[in-house]
Amino acid sequence: MTETIALLYFWLKSAHIIFVIFWMAGLFMLPRFFVYHQESPEGSDEAARWVERERRLVRIILNPSMVIVWVVGLLLAWHISALSEGWFHAKLLAVLGLSAYHGWMIGYAKKLAAGERPIEGKKLRILNEVPGIAAAIIVILVVAKPF
């Protein structure tokens, strides 16, 4: 298997980066969808359309991208022997945090679909900054490998 991974290394690395971009795009889009959803009248056709948009974004982009990022990322980390590196542990922690954020957003989408609106739009706009901050930290860890 190691030889196969070595032959496919750059393809796997490319796939990892591509699906990180897809996942991050979804993580940026979904909170914005939530803001627009909450601004639509409760029970309206517009609110129902936002429920469907959110569901499709999660099902078609967010969930598959996150799974591919995790599988390919761990395979690459194992291949380059990064599993014992400090920078990798910090990256792993950041990616776990993003995964938790992802899960929280899916839960929030379910609340919105049920007609609940527990967080105001301003706070959702602030939460929209989480993936950007995490992405900056992760890129620094992977490129600079500070420890």
Q: Answer positive or negative: Cα dihedral of 45, 51, 52, 57.
A: positive
The values of phi and psi at residue 7, to 5°, are -70, -35
CA atoms within 13 A on the CB side of 115: 4
Tokens 């792993």, residue located: 92
Q: Residue ranges for the binding site for heme?
A: 16, 91
Distance CA 45, CA 23 (A): 28
User: At residue 90, what is the residue type?
Assistant: A
Which residues are documented as binding site? 16, 91
Q: Which amino acid is at 147?
A: F
